[in-house]
Amino acid sequence: MAIPGNLSLVTVTGTYIDISGVAIAGQVKFTPRAVLRNTTSNVILVNSTIVVTLDANGSFSQQLVATDDADASPVNFSYYVEEAFVGGRSFDILLPAATATVDLADVSPAVANDGTGALYIAAAEFNAYSARLTTVEGQASGVTTFLASLQSALSSAITNSNTSRTLVSSYVRAIGGIADNGVLYPSRAY
């Protein structure tokens, strides 16, 4: 069975050569980060790995479902890409439907040559990660507020507990018993 016709496909291409110009032998693997539903065609696309073998020139071409296709749910998923050869990397990519063809050289991270090991990412990936970070920071702020109110409530409960213990101790002493850390020892007659 083929991919349903109402889904937008993006052609992903790439060519891998080593530093001396020799074609790399190996595979490139694409795994969607979500199980996709297409309710129009009543099809579920399981997030299995699509394996593409590099040709004699180190090149490949593969059609994949666009990551922002409104006919697929969830919208705005990503693909995990694994370069399955010596020196290969792993990274995530987005494939917008508005782009008919994407070359991996244009969307894969490149290591900076400044010796810091910093990575460069595409603007779309940066924006997606930035939005996720904003969400996590908002959740962390809510947790911090909750913990502060919990600490205040516990402090109040401890203060009230100590006050209650002091009052009980005074009362027990007044009626002839001794209280030690909340334990009542009745007074003895001599």
Q: How far is CA 16 from CA 22, 28, 57, 79, 85, in A?
A: 9, 10, 8, 19, 10
Give the architecture-level CATH label for domain 9-121: Sandwich (2.60)
Task: Summarize pLDDT for 98-157 with one digit per residue, the tens.
Answer: 999 999 999 988 765 555 555 555 566 667 777 777 777 777 777 777 777 777 777 777
State residue 181's pLDDT score.
52
Q: What is the DSSP letter of 116?
A: S
pTM of the predicted protein model: 0.59
Domain edges within the chain: 9-121, 134-185
Beta bridge partner(s), residue 91: 81
pLDDT at 122: 58
Collapse the DSSP code of 112 into the 3-class scheme (helix H, G, I; strand E, B; otherwise coil) and give the result.
coil
> pLDDT at position 113, please?
55
**What type of residue sits at position 150?**
L
- pLDDT for the residue numbered 135: 78
Report how far residue 161's alpha carbon sits from residue 99's, in angstroms, rounded to the nearest whole number: 66
Residue 89 scores a pLDDT above 80: yes
Reported confidence tier of residue 16, pLDDT bands at 50, 70, 90? very high
Angstrom distance (rounded) from CA 62 to CA 53: 10
What letter represents residue 149's amino acid? S
- Residues 179 and 94: their CA atoms lie apart, in Å, by 70
Q: Tell me the pLDDT tens digit for each residue of 159-173.
A: 666 655 555 555 445
Tokens read off for 70? 């409104």
Q: What is the mean pLDDT of residues 80-95?
A: 93
The residue assigned the tokens 């063809």 is 101
For residues 132 and 153, what is the distance between their CA atoms, to the nearest angstrom? 32
